Amino acid sequence: MTVIQSAKTETKSKLSEAPADSAADLLNAMAAMPVGHPSRVSLRDRAIEAWLPLARHLAHRYSGRGEPTDDLIQTATVGLIKAVDKFDPERGVDFAGYAIPTIIGEIKRHFRDRTWSVRVPRRLQELRLSITEANSTLTHTLGRSPTVADIAVHLGVTEEDVLEGLEGARAYNATSLSTPISADGTTELGDTLGGEDHEFELAETRVALGPALALLDEREQKILTLRFYGNLTQSQIADQVGISQMHVSRLLTKALTKLRTQLASEAL
């Protein structure tokens, strides 16, 4: 018996205890009214309330999968409302047979679109489900855990596709960086991750700076050293070199222009 057939049987047995006008009759009465009829809204609300046990029942069937039951009930209720609004009794299908796949579809979309810690393409989400089913089937058939090659042959895909699906499955649940990873609980997962080292941003510049500085004459190198490594003012540099402050300013500008030009050419 399928999930839908099972749910339909259980739902009918539960709803049979309720008054007749609290379920199917409400939907029939609502469908017979014009869209703008003032009583239609009230009938719609009563019909939704009458069929809420169906939504709750289906939501509980999917509990225990990492999602709060209240969220699943809310999602199932959304599916029920969609089913009530779109149901047409003239098609000859009873409401339970129409509503159950609608509600289940809404719940499955919730798991597909809302429960992944990292959003991955739908193709990988579906591949993950196929791999899980194949793993269960092959374990029973082969009497051992299937290999990637076994799963690939079973699904008719490449081994690379299987590996990609397994990698994508890791995005379903996230692990907190505060998770203890040592026996005494003093070391957390976040402690094993390296921090950002801003010095790496300057590494290439430092490598290129040596040859660029070598292109400057001795006086230009000395002035740059005193200014940027000695942290001297232009007046102090002028006193040490024996030239005017204005001359120091011109030499600094000239030297920096040479360096920028050289560094820019090497970057190309």
pLDDT value for 119: 65
182 lies in some domain: no
Q: Give the type of residue at 134.
A: A
pLDDT tens figures, 76-108: 999 999 998 888 877 877 888 888 999 998 988
189 lies in some domain: no
Q: For residue 135, what is the domain's CATH number?
A: 1.10.10.10
- pTM (predicted TM-score): 0.44
Q: Give the type of residue at 150.
A: D
- Determine contact, residues 169/128, Cβ cutoff 8 Å: yes
257 lies in some domain: yes
29 lies in some domain: yes
Q: Which two tokens stand for residue 144?
A: 């051992």
pLDDT value for 263: 82
* Rounded CA separation 206/210 (Å): 7
Whole-number average pLDDT of the chain: 81
* In a shared domain, residues 33 and 87: yes
pLDDT value for 248: 92
Tell me the C-alpha to C-alpha distance, in Å, between residue 227 and each of 27, 139, 213, 241: 86, 72, 14, 12
For the cut 60, the answer to whether the pLDDT of residue 227 exceeds it is yes
pLDDT tens figures, 108-164: 888 777 665 566 677 777 888 888 889 899 999 999 999 999 999 999 999 988 888
Q: Please report the DSSP string for 247-263 in residue order.
A: HHHHHHHHHHHHHHHHH
C-alpha distance across the termini of the chain, in Å? 68
203 lies in some domain: no
Region 32-43 average pLDDT: 80
pLDDT value for 17: 41
pLDDT value for 238: 92
Q: What angle do CA 23, 28, 29 make, to 5 degrees?
A: 100
146 lies in some domain: yes
* In a shared domain, residues 137 and 111: no
* In a shared domain, residues 165 and 242: no
Domain that holds residue 224: 210-263
* In a shared domain, residues 50 and 89: yes
Domain total for the chain? 3
Q: Which two tokens stand for residue 89?
A: 């009794």
* In a shared domain, residues 27 and 59: yes
For the cut 60, the answer to whether the pLDDT of residue 68 exceeds it is yes
For the cut 50, the answer to whether the pLDDT of residue 196 exceeds it is yes
235 lies in some domain: yes
Mapped to the 3 state alphabet, what secondary structure does 200-228 carry?
A: HHHHHHHHHHHHHHHCCCHHHHHHHHHHH
Q: Give the type of residue at 165.
A: G
35 lies in some domain: yes
